[in-house]
Amino acid sequence: MKKHRLPSQAEFFICVFLFLLFSVPSLLFSEELYSPDEGIISVGMSEVIENDLVGARERAIEDAQKKAMVQAVASEIPSKMMEDNHRILNEKLYQQGQRFIQSFKVLSEVPQGNFYKITIRFALSQPDIKNELKKIGVTRQSQRPLRLLLMIAERDLGQRQFVFWWSSENPGSRPTLSESILKSKFQERGMYVVDHISLLKEISQKKYSRDVNLAEETVKEYGRLFDGDIVINGNVEIEMVKSEGDSGMKSVQANIAAKALQVEDGKILMVTSFHAPASSTDEVTAKGEALRKALGMLSDQMSDLISRQRKGKADGNVILLKVAGLQGFSEFLTLREEIKRRIPEIKGIYQRGISLENSQIDVETKLDAPALIQLLTSRDLESFNFHVLSSSQALIELTVSPKSLTPRPKSNP
């Protein structure tokens, strides 16, 4: 490792004198344009390397400028929003402070040991900063744009193995056709999709796997690594259904199984599958049409769910009900209509999956889980009785039974 020689006392003060003599006047050139009662005071520091005071001073100025930008942004949005949006704020504002500086004044600057310290008062254009925040969608009135990470493995016609970008054996340098189509579909719905192929080159802590099917905890780790909010993870398999001899028509089917996982808590928002056939005289055309059909259905369903989830976070809560005892979709419809009629505090009820053992239903409400339980058990429904098994902040597990099969207990005389 190369050692840096510390300057002698004489060398050090000669450098400081020459530096201040020739450099400071140019920096103070804009003082007359500046009102001393306005602006943000910021202190920048930088290490002096190999007696290079000029370089250290430039880096200290950049440090002060960045800190001033952080203060200016902090006056516009909450700290939690700054933390959630750090990457885009750093790219669009902190690193581009010169775009927003109207004038500045050096209040003091002095070498301190092996460091150079400079204190500057900046006059920044706050309206321009506000406009930039609005442009990138980060304001007090807005939420952080949801970031979707796509983890879709694909097995094409004639392939024996799935292709997936997180493969340790053959990591993807470009997205699969399925991911490209799905990304376009989500973007049409106004969703932000993480460019994981580009980020792979930047992320030092790369993570690969030999498994095409990943555990939920592993999917959540990928989501955190790529700063995603929701991971769409699944498999796409393309198969030849049949080839009609004389007509030359080729029938292809795209089979998709996917789930949406929320990175923050590992919650599974949806598990779904689609099958879409398509026919054409050209195999490639048939494959593309089948993929677009299946992926279109997938993106529509998941976009609707994500929008509801986002709306719930803005306007209230989305609470998952895990319900045992529903006999089918008709009973779900009956239950939904009765709950909406008897409990107007519930704004929306959405089916995730219906089965006798475990039906999953999303409920949108401004109530928290304890208040919702109180209403479910206290407001008399016409057709069902409720029994709560367990609950948490975002989950209520319960059983329902038709009143015709569960007579009410007789009251004491």
- The full set of domain ranges for the chain reads 9-135, 147-309, 317-402
- Cβ atoms of 238 and 290 within 8 Å: the answer is yes
Phi-psi region of 52 (alpha: psi -120 to 50; beta: other; left: phi over 0): beta
What's 9-135's CATH class? alpha beta
| pLDDT given at position 236 | 94
| pLDDT given at position 60 | 93
| pLDDT given at position 233 | 93
Q: Which residues contact 192 (CB under 8 A, 6 or more apart)?
A: 145, 146, 147, 148
| pLDDT given at position 255 | 93
Give the position of tokens 């704020």.
89
- Cβ atoms of 154 and 164 within 8 Å: the answer is yes
The residue count of the chain comes to 413
- Cβ atoms of 318 and 312 within 8 Å: the answer is yes
Q: Is 228 exposed, middle or buried (0-12, 13-18, 19+ CB in 10 A)?
A: buried
CATH superfamily of the domain spanning 147-309 = TolB, N-terminal domain (3.40.50.10070)
Give the position of tokens 């000669």.
14
| pLDDT given at position 406 | 43
Do 9-135 and 147-309 come out as alike in CATH topology? Answer: no
Residue 200: phi and psi, rounded to 5, are -55, -35
| pLDDT given at position 140 | 62
pTM for this entry: 0.45
| pLDDT given at position 393 | 66
Digitized pLDDT (tens) for each residue of the chain, 413 residues in all? 444 444 444 454 445 444 444 444 333 333 333 333 457 888 999 999 988 999 999 999 999 999 999 888 888 887 667 877 788 888 889 988 889 999 999 999 998 889 999 999 999 998 999 888 887 777 765 445 678 899 999 999 888 888 888 877 766 567 788 998 998 888 777 677 888 777 766 665 556 677 788 888 989 988 888 878 899 999 999 998 876 656 678 889 999 999 999 888 888 888 888 889 999 888 889 888 999 999 988 888 888 877 766 655 545 567 878 888 877 667 777 887 888 888 888 877 765 555 656 777 777 788 888 888 888 888 878 888 888 888 776 778 888 888 864 443 443 43
